[in-house]
Amino acid sequence: MKYLMFVCTDTEPETDESQVPDIEKWVADNDAAGRRVDGDRLAPPTAATTVRVRGGQLLLSDGPFAETKEVIVGYDVLECADLDEAIEVARAHPMAWNGRIELRPFFSA
């Protein structure tokens, strides 16, 4: 199954820095295992532009579509057998410790 991993910040990160896994190792491990299809970090939400069309008219606004304390800072596309495997991949990502990660299955997995 294919999962999109939203990598987000969190207002209450892990305080014990020594426990947090290494991102380079995470990427290398999951690339090698063929579980990470794609992924990248994103520019800050201040660089975001939100696009809507209403009544045929283009409406643009500056910033993300939802103003929240937690912001999406990156994403990864995972190819995993099931949710349990995806959870194991997500928990080993440093941002599961320093932030939070949302696992969302693709509609046509």
Partner 1 sequence: MADARVAVAEAVADSHGRIVAALIRITGDWDLAEDCAQEAVTVALERWPSDGVPANPGGWLMTVARNRALDVLRRATIERRKLADLAVLTDPSPGPAPASDDRLRLIFTCCHPALSLEARVALTLRTVAGVPTADIARAFLVTESTMTRRLTRAKAKIAQAGIPYRVPSGSALAERLPGVLAVLYLLFTRGYDSDGEPAFATEAIRLARLLAALMPGEPEVSALLALFLLQHSRRDARRDADGNLLTLDRQDRARWDHDAIAEALRILPDADGPYALQARIAACHTAEATDWPRVAALYDRLAEVVPSPVVRLNRAVAHGYAHSPADGLRLLAAARAGGALDDYPLAVAAEADLTARAGDREGAVALFERAAALAPSYAERRALLTRAEDLSREDD
Q: Which residues bind partner 1 (CB under 8 A)?
A: 1, 3, 80-84, 86-87, 103, 105, 109
Q: Which is nearer to partner 1, 69 or 107 (CB)?
A: 107
- Choice between 62 and 84, CB closer to partner 1: 84
Q: How many Cβ atoms are within 10 Å of 81's Cβ, its own excluded?
A: 9
Amino acid at 2: K
35/30 Cα distance (integer angstroms): 5
Where does 1-82 have alpha helices with state H? 23-32
Min CB(54)–partner 1 separation in Å: 30
| In the complex, minimum distance from the CB of residue 3 to partner 1, in angstroms, rounded to a whole number | 8
Task: Provide, rounded to whole angstroms, the least separation between the CB of residue 8 and partner 1.
Answer: 17
State the minimum distance, in angstroms, from the CB of residue 21 to partner 1: 16
How many whole angstroms separate alpha carbon 4 and alpha carbon 6?
6
Q: CB-wise, 71 or 103, nearer to partner 1?
A: 103
Q: Three-state DSSP class for 46?
A: helix
